[in-house]
Amino acid sequence: MKIVLLGGGSFGTALANQLADNTANEICILLRNPALEKSINQTHINTKYFPKRPLRSSVKASCDVGVLANAEVILLCTPTKSITAVASLLKENRGPNALIVNTAKGVLENGETIVEYLRKELRYKDVISMKGASFSAEMINSMPTLFTVGFDRRFQLEKLMQMTKHTNIFLDYTNDIRGVELLSALKNIYAIALGNVDAKYNALNTRFMILTKAIEEIKVILRNMGGAEETIFLCCGIGDIALTGLSDLSRNRTLGLLIGKGFYNEAMAENAVVLEGCNTLRVIDQTLSDSLKEKLPLLHKVKLMLQQPLDDHYDFQELFRRKYKTVLTYGTYDLLHFGHLELLRRLRELGDRVIVGLSTDEFNQQKRKDCVMNYEKRKHLLEVLSYVDLVIPEKTWDQKIEDIKNYGVDLFVMGSDWEGKFDFLKPYCEVRYLPRTEGISTTKLKSIIKE
């Protein structure tokens, strides 16, 4: 298999060396440095990153972008900041059937992932993700290493399994490409917090308290930004969070350690690791709603830490103070559509437990509302959604006060078309009206179906 690694840094070089253990692979590192190309091809040494570690003799290097034309797999091992240039390079030089695999870790503007950006720019679907708990210093010595593959077509996974055969690289996998991409960026933010806490307290209890909080917050962000919750249990999730947050080989953890020890200065503020972390924080901060950010005090703490590194005191009472909030809404939810899903997603942002009062068939008859699906089917569809924790039957208009009392409801939410109609519930809980998703409704869908 012809494989080109775009980028000859420590990660690209170490990965190339591992993949060379599979003798069926033809490995080429695409570089911009002719001197480094000569060194790798003649002495099998990457003088810049691994001057004392000989590479496999089968690892080749080239400065000729023409090698991309015949590549079956192109591994992107470049910094996130170079992704625009990478897209231009691939657009002009890649072969028509190459599988492009992103290993760069970062999030672009408006929460767009690198894979999404490349698919859009290249107008090409065969762009996937491979991320994991991996340090180059260990990969170069062929230590067993696990990666998560985010893919959407089976042949993509099979090609990577073939590529890594007979190597010490192992794969777990998911169809949640977005989740894999997001996790690889989010863990860097929380690694700063873990390093900082270790520097200030040097206590295992405190370290794992913050690790637990970090995983909780990353899970919340992942779900809100469109990733699947279960992806956090793969190598790209907990594996990479632990590796980056707890190992002193991690640059982001080291940044947190330096801040905690009082060694942070203006020169460090211009460091690439700091800038990348600040950029990821900025994008996440702009993407998430204010109500969701209230659930993320550790994220806020890291943000303040980077802005004011000399003021990194922890108020643990505040960090772990959060009232458990139950949210209640009502509806018919016939012909479940995007508008419904968007409302339920926003409800999940607002609370910890989401309860849906679902109109029964008998109650719908009283309201003179015809449903395509019966109660049990509508109930089942809601119950399989990760946004919904409990579905209860709505049998009458007058049951709401009793439901609020019985289920300990803190927040009652309905669409803005009900504005003011449920203000009588305010003595019992908070009442809020959310705007409907424009351009879609069950009534509109039914009219389209009839046509």
140-193, pLDDT tens digit by residue?
999 999 999 999 999 999 999 999 999 999 999 999 999 999 999 999 999 999
37 shares a domain with 128: yes
CA angle, corner 10, sides to 8 and 16, nearest 5? 60
Contacts of residue 403, defined as CB under 8 A and 6 or more positions apart, other chains included, come to 328, 355, 357, 392, 409
Q: 320-371: per-residue pLDDT in tens?
A: 887 789 999 999 999 888 889 989 988 988 888 999 999 999 999 998 888 8
Report how far residue 75's alpha carbon sits from residue 70's, in angstroms, rounded to the nearest whole number: 13
Is 451's pLDDT higher than 50? Answer: no
CA angle at residue 302 from 299 to 304, to 5 degrees? Answer: 110
In CATH, what number is assigned to the domain containing residue 341? 3.40.50.620
Going by C-alpha positions, the residue among 263, 415, 398, 275 that lies closest to residue 333 is 415
pLDDT attached to residue 449: 39
Identified catalytic residue from 81, 91, 261, 367: 367
Q: Are residues 17 and 113 in the same domain?
A: yes
On whether both 201 and 332 belong to a single domain, the answer is: no
Residue-level pLDDT at 266:
63
Task: Please say if the pLDDT value at position 135 is more than 80.
Answer: yes
Same domain for 122 and 247, yes or no, is: no
Same domain, 99 and 9: yes
Query: Of the residues 38, 91, 369, 426, which is catalytic?
Result: 369
325 has catalytic annotation: no
CATH number at residue 293: 1.10.1040.10
Same domain as 111, residue 18? yes
Which range marks the domain in which residue 102 is found?
A: 2-175
